[in-house]
Amino acid sequence: MSDAEAIEIEAEVRRHVLPRAGCVDALRVVQRHRGWVPDEQIRDVAKALDMTPDELDAIATFYPFIFRKPVGRHIIAVCDGLACWAMGYEGLFEALVERLGVSWGGTTPDGRFTLLPVSCIGQCDRGPAMMVDEDVYGDLTSGEIGQILERYR
């Protein structure tokens, strides 16, 4: 773990009564620095929080936006919840697969995008919906995909 990561993690952990309560924040610190959370950092952070690596890994793999393997520069999170399914999710997903040339969990060869399913992004009234990084798009049609993705170079 780098000195900068250790300092930021310590600051995050101090905000909590129990050190382990800051585990997600600590994982986000590592991810902000590295783009993902490698096994070595799971071990280092677990030790700093008085947790086992298995305990911390279970938490890391539970959260869809903690990445345990390298991802693209931009994350496309497509809602695959019931409301989005009913509103045309399949067409959106097919358009993304065709445009990107990857399926769930895949990263484009240029490292630009990673395509991930998420169970809900809170846009049930605007489905089908997706997020690119932290930008939310709803009421989507397959024809809008190209224009949206061009914004993320």
Residue 116 pLDDT grade (very low, low, confident, very high; cuts 50, 70, 90): very high
Query: Does some domain include residue 144?
Result: yes
The one-character DSSP state at 2 is -
Q: Are residues 88 and 142 in the same domain?
A: yes
pLDDT at 1: 85
pLDDT at 8: 95
Q: Are residues 88 and 140 in the same domain?
A: yes
Q: Are residues 133 and 92 in the same domain?
A: yes
Q: Report which residue type is found at 12.
A: E
Query: Does some domain include residue 112?
Result: yes
Looking at 7-11, 61-65, 99-103, which range is the least confident one? 61-65
Cβ(147)–Cβ(109) below 8 Å: no
Q: What is the mean pLDDT of the chain?
A: 94
Rg (CA), the chain: 17
Q: Report which residue type is found at 101.
A: G
Count of domains in the chain?
2
Say whether the peptide bond before residue 19 is cis (omega within 30 degrees of 0).
no
Cβ(95)–Cβ(131) below 8 Å: no
Q: Are residues 83 and 53 in the same domain?
A: no
Q: What is the domain range of residue 103?
A: 74-149
Average pLDDT over every residue of 81-92 = 91
Q: What's the pTM value of the predicted model, to 2 decimals?
A: 0.82
Query: Does some domain include residue 67?
Result: no
Distance CA 33, CA 70 (A): 12
pLDDT at 37: 97
Say whether the peptide bond before residue 128 is cis (omega within 30 degrees of 0).
yes
Q: Are residues 11 and 57 in the same domain?
A: yes
pLDDT at 136: 96
